[in-house]
Structure 1
């Protein structure tokens, strides 16, 4: 069954549009509440967290009301990263968790994503059940059956302590100078707390959210300021999160960026040395250098569809315990979804254990040049069914021949058609990607 509203990472869109609208979100909470109460012997409980967008207040209230109208109790934890909601949902023994966030998107967007009671992304079957309830008339439960809400005052502290437990007890971060960019997002409090309490000296960026500056020129999708700050302050490392704290990008002491693929390679090599690695899952977007580098180490590797939920599914299907995406979503044995703080702590632990800089640790990894272009289209999926579009894509593949690879796909979170070209030379990748993007834009304009 195809889903009408849910994409690869919940529901997302422009605030005030037909979906990310308080009336629609109210009914979404009501529909989710009815799916949770069906067959339940006790009143269900749901954790609700959010990032720092101004619209989070509006949508939080709507969700809370919708859930309560269906007889569900709500636990409000305020601004916390997405992986914290997954963790708290498990430890508070809640029946589900909900995150109000549009991740790396600008503040005008927002979204709703769900976790099941075990901290994993909600299965397709439950998302489909929620969509089915959305087609029913909204009827409020009897007064004595309505849910109630309360705030979990120590939620941030619980998550900070959990993060610290994943760092080796015999190590600390004393003597390290870290530049930490929190994107004015959900990690703006807990991120610095974790690294500071482990002993690091911090220079902070993106820790003054005002509701509309989330991801604005900072964070994992805009590392330029972080790179400059690391170089100018002679820091040991730069750490960049995205708006909801599930993506990680690092910058070494020379100001060079390490994306998710390179971080996965570093983690996999270390886990293999400890005989603690069963295999790695990447995605269709993962750099060929990651696949080849893991093959040289004798590490099993498979690719999944794009989206951390599909990475996790492939990890479970193959019995692998490490996976992630080029964008910086990294799933380790300690978490059930992408967790930027935990991934950063693992890299820092490797540095401390071997007493090496990040620049020294990354020696030997040589990524293939990649060019990524997004074309804004309302109907991105339909474009791929257009015969002319298919001809242009085939032409780009011929231009690459055996010198690279091409991936064209609709975004699962935005109205975009994404083009990825990877080639042995940066010039070839850039030329093929720009030519194809121009052809498809002209075709779309039509």
Structure 2
């Protein structure tokens, strides 16, 4: 099937140009000026009407909750949310029930992801059996089964010996360790960032050292083992500094930041508000600025959502009892475009590098992350000119736990295309044939 996209702008890896794009058999076959002469040979024509055609976004960190927690999300609803947010590839964390910590269960996850997903879904395996301390998984067997990487996300690895052994095993099979860095004893029963805001609200705090102490340990171990060590959802200024120094020393470390840590901080928690309970917690304004600085100078490599849907009941009441987590797939690009690109903090090209090109490059996602002839036709059409409101009723995810609901933003996804097939389309998108 041939699809021709005309009358728009195309976001290439280093620039945005006015061009038309021809797709053929699920791949990008031609990028050029005035391809309208090929309309008669196209099965479908999409009029971009001056909008931007960008590479499909990539999210290295999502939770789809199935199996085990389908009241929160399913592979189907999570992947529909991804498509609505412009994501064509997502990487799903393994904190599920049963846990994909063995080949049999892992292969079941791959089948589920393939059969129910509308976007490409890469699957993490766990680092330890059942995501608890004591026994590492079989790294080689899980790689052979198709594991994208290894993570115990939601839980930090509590002993240096277990993390050291895991890093050696991951390095031996040339796959990354993606770490939720958190010392459980230091975190205690905290529900938000430790400090004067928590004290004022009478809520137990989570100190920054619960993140940084374990991160410092892991960076030493990563230097020793040579593993690709990826830091999930960085939240503190000290963490940024530790990663910056480790990179300068040649440690093979990459890092992600989530939009909520870029655009929200503890000063916005003015009452006991469970919608602002997340892990790691929202930190100080100076931490938020350090995260942005780290993103701009390359210390932090990319943006990932940590999409964590919950039921309405789990996100009501007090932060003392509510679940940690915030959804992000359907708000991420718009939040970043509105608060980073429109004010001139970064360019659209930079944002797309953080949300597409760099994840593909750093995690060896072949055929993804850029618009180029021969690439898989994983694409998103973006309306950057018109503001819109983030509304609950528009969300495809089961989880509505987002403090961004009701905000006026820019950067609306008009259409998402996966391997040449339209998987999300706004009603007013213009297509013919």
Give the alignment's TM-score, normalised by structure 1: 0.26
Q: Which has the higher contact order (CA 8 A, sep 6+)?
A: 2
TM-score (norm 2): 0.27
Q: Which has the higher helix share?
A: 1
